[in-house]
Structure 1
Amino acid sequence: MKIFVRERRRSDKGEKKPRFRVVGVQGGDLKIYAKRIRKVELTEIAEHVGAEVVYLTRDGKGAEGEKK
């Protein structure tokens, strides 16, 4: 099982807000109801269900979803 997540754009280190957003889950029977999740919560969930956490990279520009 894999859990795909990406780092939120408006989150900074040391901020008291969840830094990651779950993009998708492959395999298994896992439903995540939170829109944003903390890394500690994410790793604990992955340990309990035997999943691998895949961190998706961003291009850093934010231009992919831009309207032309």
Structure 2
Amino acid sequence: MKIFVRERMRAEEGTRKPRYRVVGIQGGDLKIYAKRIRRCELKELAEQTGAEIVYLPRDGEGSEGKKKAA
């Protein structure tokens, strides 16, 4: 089983906010109800289920999905 996550732009280290967003899960029977998750919670989930954590890269711009001004 694999858990795919990406780091959030607005949650920086030391801000006391969850830093990761779960993008998807492959295989297994795991349901995650939280939109954002902390690294310690993510590690515990992976350890208990035997899953691998896959960190997805970010583009750094955050421009995808936004409408262009006409």
In the aligned structure 2, how far is the partner of 1:28 from the partner of 1:4? 13
Q: Which runs of 5 or more residues in structure 2 are unaligned? A: none
User: Counterpart in 1 of 2:18?
Assistant: 18
Equivalent position amino acid for 1:48 in 2? Q
User: Counterpart in 2 of 1:63?
Assistant: 63
Matched residue SS, 2:65: coil
User: Counterpart in 2 of 1:33?
Assistant: 33
In the aligned structure 2, how far is the partner of 1:34 from the partner of 1:2? 17
Number of positions where the alignment pairs a residue of Structure 1 with one of Structure 2: 68
User: Counterpart in 2 of 1:42?
Assistant: 42
In the aligned structure 2, how far is the partner of 1:63 from the partner of 1:37? 23
Q: Deviations over 1:8-58 (max 9, x none)?
A: 111111111100010100000000011100000000100000000000111
So what's the TM-score if we normalise by structure 2?
0.92
In the aligned structure 2, how far is the partner of 1:61 from the partner of 1:36? 20
Following TM superposition, the consecutive aligned residue runs of length 4 or more in structure 1 with deviations greater than 2 angstroms are none
Matched residue SS, 1:54: strand
